[in-house]
Structure 1
């Protein structure tokens, strides 16, 4: 079993995945761990929505409509959710709280997304967190059935890793962005 540090250093985005994906039971099991993020006041201000099959096509149609594109540009945008067999929509579900502002609740939801991506990678799945200019568009949010205090943070595109993909990863971590003030 890899240490947390080893798993973090080994993680890389997988822009191309195969057509296999974890089932809902596997996702729920990984979420049990990912939901251990810091969560001020235990609000659990997130939810995760699995999009498979036709749900990805409906998302693609919403993206194309939100963009205002037509023709080939609209078709290309509509096809993007088909790049993976499973998309996990990460949703920030904020509530009014006197001590926990909305931005902090969104941060907790983003933490769930990041931990889930690490856990999926560690379990051998290819995963990439994708966002884009239409993430917060009302048409795209409506395609996910979001409520009035919910905002889409993006999607984890999940699928199988092509043969040799893990071995081909660059193992050198990026240089830290760090400063210290006295």
Structure 2
């Protein structure tokens, strides 16, 4: 793949807030995750893992989100329904371990890199993807649904499904004119 092809894939990527019921298989996700695992990873710690939630696991996550919120009634029901927006949720988990040369923030950055590359690869493969988080991402009830250990925490979920009929235009940023790039000499 040429640099132009990679650039084209990056520029074509968009978030898909609404997706259909189609989704990639676990084997397809594993193949893309293998490619995403090439992110920078100081000391080769592999400080990440991905948990796939399908079917009833999404409803259990919704219940945990409602529990974490303390909401009742319609507000709790609305929050509990959010994980049902896509047929597949890929939970992005940072696995932070004490290391003398690799601080926690660097391990979290590597895990976030895996999430970003995985989203890009899924998009390039034709799937609708949106990275979602929220105020209850790190709540103990939510961690329990994912079976997280004490050294693990969620970075969010990739909501994955078939692309809906509506094509969304991508908003692009001209980094040179938006004060997002500075060259120091």
TM interval, shorter chain, is over 0.9
Does 2:166 align with 1:180? no
User: What secondary structure is seen at the aligned counterpart in 1 of 2:112?
Assistant: helix
How far the C-alpha of 1:178 sits from its partner, in A, is 1.4
Which position in structure 2 is the counterpart of 1:170? 169
Matched with 1:47 is 49
What's the TM-score once normalised by structure 2's chain length? 0.93
Gaps of 5+ in 1: none
- Where structure 2 has 5 or more consecutive residues not aligned to the other structure, the ranges are none
Alignment of 1:1-182 (within 5 A): 3-163=5-165, 165=166, 168-171=167-170, 173-176=172-175, 177-182=180-185
Cα drift, residue 143 of structure 1: 1.1
Aligned residues: 179
CA RMSD of aligned residues (A): 1.2
Tell me the TM-score normalised to structure 1 length: 0.95
SS in 2 for 1:91: strand
Report the Cα distance in structure 1 between the residues aligned to 2:20 and 2:171, rounded to whole angstroms: 25
Post-superposition Cα deviations, 1:77-114, rounded to whole Å, max 9, x if no partner, equal: 00000000000000001111100011100000000000
